Amino acid sequence: MGRIFSGIQPTSNLTLGNYLGAIKNWVTMQSEHDSIFCVVDMHAITVPQEPEALRKATYEALATYIACGIDPKKSTLFVQSHVPQHAELAWYLNCATPMGWLNRMTQFKDKAGKNRDSVMTGLYTYPVLMAADILIYHATHVPVGEDQKQHVELCRDIAISFNQRFEREVFTVPQPIMPKQGARIKSLRDGTKKMSKSDPSDMSRINLTDDADTIAKKIRKATSDADVLPSEVKGLESRPEAENLVTIYAALAETTMDKVLGEFAGQGFGVFKPALANLAVEKLAPITKRTQELLSDKGEIEAVMRQGRDKLIPMANKTLDDVKQAMGFVTL
């Protein structure tokens, strides 16, 4: 039994995509592993954030984790900036990470695009902070989506080269774990794009703060096509919207796409969408309702934040002491 670490950025509302793609898996994993889940506010500021929006999103993310079933008695939940040791470790790791390694990061290339000279330095060194998050707690496994795999691999390279350079096992070398396929949720407007918190259209996603009526409305209005559903998954090829809606159904019902098609083959979206809307409301409305309840009493969320912080600071300090000792800092 290893230790799991993962995090999500509080850049705005978490979505159905975050739930089915990440948080739902975390809920299962927390019973089998020592688990630490973070709201990575220091990563969020790698692109400009409105201060009040960041604060609100940070509370919302933590409330959503709990409402989705992450149990603060089983897992450790915290806010990244509450353990500033991450930033200190990131500095030491910045001085142990060749620029060539960061130049290879495809997410930076995608995000910076043509604006390489005007994006902030933090966006470039972001993967080093992520490595610090993971290494400071000796996490053994890091559940992430495909887009973050390269960053976890960089983290492994940093850990291995640091251990070699200073000739001791300062860091545990972690492994990425990818969610089982089928949980990659696309936009409700365009089945070729990821469901994203940053899409300008709110109709493209289901937020984990939406109420039951909104959830039902968004599903009913989701883009689909005029064909009936096929009897096999193969028949969904080149029908990205249809595939996405069947994927969502299967994930929410905790079944396979084949079984869903077994039930709905030959039916059109006039039948399938209302069924999906009912299912989504049944599964998600309790979560979004609980999120709203938690948000109405910040005290409860803050108590969970404090509990996480107080547990993690000593662990983080221990790792920092080892790092500083290894690197040759004078410790008093």
Start-to-end Cα distance in the chain: 35
5 binds ligand TRP (CB under 6 A): yes
133 binds ligand TRP (CB under 6 A): yes
Q: Where are the alpha helices (DSSP H) in 71-146?
A: 85-94, 99-103, 106-112, 121-135
Among 43, 156, 186, 194, binds ligand TRP (CB under 6 A): 43
197, 217, 289, 324: the active-site residue? 197
Please answer whether residues 242 and 236 qualify as being in contact, where contact means their C-beta atoms are separated by less than 8 angstroms. Answer: yes
134 binds ligand TRP (CB under 6 A): yes
6 binds ligand TRP (CB under 6 A): yes
Integer Cα distance of 116 and 326 in angstroms: 35
Look-up of token digits 């130049």:
103
30 binds ligand TRP (CB under 6 A): no
142 binds ligand TRP (CB under 6 A): yes
111, 283, 289, 324: the active-site residue? 111
Nearer to ligand TRP among residue 108 and residue 269 (C-beta): 108
Please answer whether residues 130 and 151 qualify as being in contact, where contact means their C-beta atoms are separated by less than 8 angstroms. Answer: yes
Q: Which amino acid is at 85?
A: Q
Q: Find, among 24, 30, 76, 6, the residue nearest to 208 by Cα.
A: 24
Nearer to ligand TRP among residue 43 and residue 218 (C-beta): 43
SS3 for 168?
Answer: coil
125 binds ligand TRP (CB under 6 A): no
Nearer to ligand TRP among residue 127 and residue 191 (C-beta): 127
236 binds ligand TRP (CB under 6 A): no
319 binds ligand TRP (CB under 6 A): no
From the CB of residue 21, how many other CB atoms can be counted at a distance below 10 Å? 22
Write down the least CB distance from residue 133 to ligand TRP, Å.
4
Active site residue 111: yes
Write down the least CB distance from residue 30 to ligand TRP, Å.
15
40 binds ligand TRP (CB under 6 A): yes
Nearer to ligand TRP among residue 149 and residue 283 (C-beta): 149
Integer Cα distance of 61 and 38 in angstroms: 9
Query: In Å, what is the CA distance from 6 to each residue of 70, 252, 318?
Result: 12, 22, 20
| Contact residues for 311 (Cβ-Cβ < 8 A; gap 6+) | 76
Q: Find, among 229, 202, 197, the residue nearest to 217 by Cα.
A: 202
Active site residue 234: no
Nearer to ligand TRP among residue 108 and residue 264 (C-beta): 108
| Residues engaged in binding ligand TRP (CB under 6 A) | 5-7, 9, 40, 43, 130, 133-134, 142, 144, 148
Q: Which residues are catalytic?
A: 111, 194, 197
